[in-house]
Amino acid sequence: MATLASTIHVSTRGHNDVHDLTSGVEAVVRRSNVDCGTATIFVSGSTAGITTIEFEPGVVNDLKQAIDRLAPSELHYDHDARWGDGNGYAHVRAALLGPSLTVPIVEGRMQLGTWQQIILVDFDNRPRERDIVIQVTGDVRTKG
């Protein structure tokens, strides 16, 4: 059993900014030499989330619009009244999406569908520097 942890750094623009993390996560999985296990992808912070989607402009735009409908930025949020930072909606959006994702690894490969990519969505109301932690755990490939 082996575990490898690594961090991907992403500069975001906020306001539902979407980034494809798939190739970075795949690189960490390859370096781990894990044959059978899991990759956990986690974003630190309470105004961003991680999920999967087909990373193409139409679906990305559909997701952004759906998020805007679920937690509109122009509503009253108690968080804003208390802290005055105007990003109460971003906290709600991040809580709905969630900060992490776990992907199975079989024969050294993440088991993503053909059109399924791992994405970060930054909901904050300003640009941010995001650290995404990838932890790969499982049985290491044996030579043979």
Q: Indicate which CATH number applies to the domain containing 7.
A: 2.60.120.460
Has residue 30 been placed in a domain?
Answer: yes
- How far apart CA 1 and CA 9 sit, in angstroms, is 27
Please report the pLDDT score of residue 6 as a whole number. 97
CB 89 within 8 A of CB 15: no
Please report the pLDDT score of residue 116 as a whole number. 98
Has residue 121 been placed in a domain?
Answer: yes
Has residue 134 been placed in a domain?
Answer: yes
Q: How many CB atoms lie within 10 A of CB 15?
A: 15
Please report the pLDDT score of residue 142 as a whole number. 77
pLDDT tens for the 144 residues of the chain, in order: 889 999 999 999 999 999 999 999 999 999 999 999 999 999 999 999 999 999 999 999 999 999 999 999 999 999 999 999 999 999 999 999 999 999 999 999 999 999 999 999 999 999 999 999 999 999 998 765
Has residue 144 been placed in a domain?
Answer: no
Tally of domains in the chain: 1
35 lies in which domain range? Answer: 2-139
Has residue 91 been placed in a domain?
Answer: yes
Has residue 67 been placed in a domain?
Answer: yes
Please report the pLDDT score of residue 16 as a whole number. 97
Please report the pLDDT score of residue 59 as a whole number. 98
Has residue 26 been placed in a domain?
Answer: yes
Please report the pLDDT score of residue 143 as a whole number. 67
Please report the pLDDT score of residue 141 as a whole number. 80
Please report the pLDDT score of residue 39 as a whole number. 98
Please report the pLDDT score of residue 5 as a whole number. 96
- How far apart CA 7 and CA 51 sit, in angstroms, is 17
Please report the pLDDT score of residue 144 as a whole number. 56
